[in-house]
Structure 1
Amino acid sequence: MQTHFTEEDLQKPHIREADRVLRTCVHCGFCNATCPTYQLLGDERDGPRGRIYLMKEMLESPEDDTQVTEETRLHLDRCLTCRNCETTCPSGVEYHKLLDIGRAEIERRVPRRPAERALRLGLRKALVEPKRFQALLKLGQTFRPLVPGALADKMPPTPVDAGVRPEGRRHARQMLILEGCVQPGLSPNTNAATARVLDRLGIGLTPAPEAGCCGAIDFHLNAQEAGRARMRANIDAWWPHIDKTGEAGVEAIVQTASGCGAMVKEYAEVLADDPDYAAKAERVSALAKDLVEVLRDEDLATLEVKESRRLAFHCPCTLQHAQRLNGAVEQVLRGLGFTLTPVQDAHLCCGSAGTYSVTQPELATQLRDNKLDSLEAGNPEVIVTANIGCQTHLAGANRTPVRHWIEIVDEALTPATSNELRATSSP
């Protein structure tokens, strides 16, 4: 794609990066074929190619250009950032990087109305602090009839109890785990189940309670500096366990939510121009692993899983398109003896997409219902996934039960394994 930025424009880092990304696009339109919003709406401006043109025109236009309006922002807001288009693109266009630049620019040029700003600020403040979120969640569950339907659907009435979590320090092999911001409240058993399964494999989880939200919520709601601050705080929390003088540091930083994993793996890119954190961010991103990347390299026979349930696996966009781990969880589950039902259009987004299901509820609901139809076509007993956002969004329809896949693996451990674990664990 030909661009028309001035030399003065190209002195700005974000314009220089946008120019690089734009020049890789060849207008082919393959991306529209796999774009969930284009398929629903049929509007070129609601597909990647159209949005690229909108962002190009905006970035090349003068500050006072009247063509840049709320309508431009609407089409950018409707993007799920699922990155399906990147998987499809034959030219390797890094669309998500251009989208981050375009969204920040439209936010600056066309300020949102007070109600929209309040909603986005409220989401940021409510979701990113685990203790605050858990307090709000308990309040919402208590007064559930008063909670708006879109939010009430995302609150599990009775999350699965976390059970016993093993003491990780008793193992020579150590990894960090990102506990997450909303997952401890919405699905407290996910990380506990992860700890139990890894314990059986001889891997302990080193606690790093100072680490908090990965930064994705702030970053993708156009509070990018706040997101970077959270990234730096996490690096500071993890660094003493990574950079250990005279002894081995942790093997990896494990994420059980694929959305967080995608973000942590991008710390190196996001903080590349930060002289104090660039090198550390690069190291952290190199250590970041989705849980499935850990398990697929281990001897899974050690787990002694006994299971026959039929599962349908929903592969989150952040796992298959951002982290490029499509098929990895399915391979592990089949290797453990689970039966997986076929899922049509598995590449399409479920509509969760971070806070998208709150900011774009109508589109998100259509995408969710379409996804559930595909997942339930093979009559699975349980739907499993790898991201807390997808899990709560799909479960909100109150159809087939939806769980994190590691919980199902944990439940399938032999009784002897469970008894042994409880005997060697701290409450």
Structure 2
Amino acid sequence: MQTTFTPQQLADPRVAEAEAILRKCVHCGFCTATCPTYVTLGNELDSPRGRIYLIKDMLENGRPADKEIVTHVDRCLSCLACTTTCPSGVDYMHLVDHARAHIEKTYRRPLIDRLTRSVLAQVLPYPGRFRTALRLARFGRPLAPLLRRVAALAPFAAMLDLAPSRIPAARPAEPIAAEGARRGRVALLTGCAQSVLDPGINATTARLLARLGVEVVQNPAGEGCCGALVHHMGREEDALSAARRNVDAWTREIDAGGLDAIIVTASGCGTTVKDYGHMLRLDPGYAEKAVRISTLAKDVTEYLATLDLPAPAIAPGLTVAYHSACSMQHGQKITREPRTLLKQAGFTVREPREGHLCCGSAGTYNILQPEIAAKLRKRKVANIEATGAAVIATGNIGCMTQIGTGTDMPIVHTVALLDWAYGGPKPAGLPDVAALEMVAAE
């Protein structure tokens, strides 16, 4: 793609990077076939190629964002299926990140939109506030149908719809010593939303790793939200502040006792932490340290695949529909490890059709774009249920929440199934294998 940025514009390293990304696009349109919003809406401007044209025009002319570009960039899930498909290697992720930051600085959103985004940014990254908000949401749930009737208030209805009926008790995140001979030492990201919605995921991960001989450091001083939620809303400084805080926390832990890896159990967070090196590349005080942290970041399945695992303690005998979160398969390019681990643990793994398409979760997308998210969820659930599997496994809390509201099939984190197979307790809600065999025989 030809560009006409001026030398003065290109003096800004962020603009120079955006220009280099734009030049790689050859307008082939391969991205349209795998873009969830284009597949759903059929509008060229809701495809990566269409958004690239809009972003190019906005940045090249040095003008503020307008309603049209905001509408179509807001509809992007950042699922990154386009980056997997693109034959030219267009770095769409960092281009749309730059566009969102530009929008945040130059566009004044309608009052309700500003309020919604402010509430999300001030609540979700903070577990204490988020837990309180969920408790209050239970009382407001009867109002959801009324809120849905007003388009501007639909995001608030979506918040109420997604709020769980039961809020798990908080669990202390304490260091866990390795059992037997120590094979490694890792830090486990506590996170924000996941620590409230399902704290059992990290507890299970720590238990499994300790059983395998890995010392687990949890909740080091200063660690907090990875910054993904505000990053995707264009709140660049908030995201960078979160990244710096975590880089400092983990660097202190590395200096104190060494770390073999920083384990992340929410793939959306993993994609962001692995991008810290890029996010902080222009910060001389953090650039080198951030690259070190990004290099150490590993999804839990990515790390488990490097260990010499024992034989499974049980024969689970369940058929699993594995849902690969977009941030896992497109963001981190992790596709083989979760499936292989599940098969080695004794599960039968089935692949849903259209596995490359997003379920509609995408961080806060299912709140900010509830209508599109609902269509994507319906499509995803239909494909998952068609597998005939007994349980759904995935590696991202957002997907678990989104898909779980659209099906009666149990959905669990991949690590919960692996922990069960290697000597841990059976995850709650899973069907009894003998009962399934009786149903099949009938």
> Structure 1-normalised TM-score?
0.91
Query: Does the Cα contact within 8 Å between 2:323 and 2:351 map onto a contact in 1?
Result: no
1:306 to 1:153, Cα distance in 2 relative to 1, 3 A: farther
> Paired residue for 1:198?
209
Please name the residue that 2:245 is paired with: 233
Task: Give the match for residue 42 of structure 1.
Answer: 42
Residue 292 (structure 1) aligned with residue 289 (structure 2): no
Of the three residues 177, 183, 187, the one matched with 2:194 is: 183
Q: How does 1:198-347 map to 2 (within 5 A)?
A: 198-207=209-218, 208-244=220-256, 249-347=258-356
Match of 1:127 in 2: 124
Q: Which residue of structure 1 lines up, in the alignment, with residue 24 of structure 2? A: 24
Match of 1:397 in 2: 406
User: Secondary structure of the residue that 2:7 maps to in structure 1?
Assistant: coil
Which residue in the other structure is 1:115 paired with?
112
User: What SS does structure 2 have at the residue aligned with 1:174?
Assistant: strand
Counterpart amino acid of residue 213 in structure 1: C
Counterpart of 1:71 (choices 68, 72, 75) is: 68
Aligned with 1:168: secondary structure?
A: coil
1:152 aligns with 2:164: no
Q: 1:357, 1:224 → 2: CA distance?
A: 21
Separation in 2 of the partners of 1:109 and 1:34? 30
Rounded to whole Å, the distance in 1 between the matches of 2:92 and 2:305 is 30
Distance 1:165 1:144, change over 3 A: same
Question: 1:22: Cα distance to partner?
Answer: 0.6
Cα pair 1:175 1:251 within 8 Å, conserved = yes
**Aligned to 1:243, what secondary structure does the other structure show?**
helix
Identical pairs, percent: 43
Partner SS state of residue 188, structure 2 = strand
Q: Secondary structure at the match of 2:162?
A: coil
Partner of 1:422: none
Whether 1:136 aligns to 2:145 is no
By how many angstroms is 1:132 displaced? Answer: 1.4
Measured after TM superposition, the shift of residue 39 of structure 1 is 0.6
- Residues 412 and 139 (structure 1), Cα distance of their counterparts in 2 relative to 1, 3 Å cut: farther
Q: Pick 1 or 2: higher relative contact order, CA cutoff 8 A, min separation 6.
A: 1
User: Does residue 360 in structure 1 map to residue 379 in structure 2?
Assistant: no
**Cα displacement string for residues 200-238 of structure 1 (whole angstroms, at most 9, x for unaligned residues):** 111121121531100111111111101100111111111
Residue aligning to 2:91: 94
Q: CA deviation at 1:161?
A: 7.1
The letter for the 2-side match of 1:139 is L
Q: Distance in 1 between matches of 2:66 and 2:143?
A: 36
Offset at 1:189?
0.8
Letter matched to residue 115 of structure 1: I
Distance across 2 between alignment mates of 1:358 and 1:109 = 23
Give me the whole-angstrom Cα distance separating, in 2, the residues matched to 1:416 and 1:348. Answer: 32
Residue deviations 1:258-307 (CA, integer Å, cap 9, x gap): 00000000000100111111111011001000001111112222552431
Contact 1:177-1:206 within 8 A present in 2 as well:
yes
Unaligned runs of 5+ in 1: 419-427
User: Greater shift after overlay, 109-118 or 72-81?
Assistant: 109-118
- Give the total of aligned pairs: 412
**Secondary structure of the corresponding residue to residue 340 of structure 1:** strand
363-372 or 340-349, which moves further after superposition?
340-349
Cα RMSD (Å): 2.2
Deviation at 1:150, TM superposition (A): 1.7
CA contact (8 A) 2:280 2:290 kept: yes
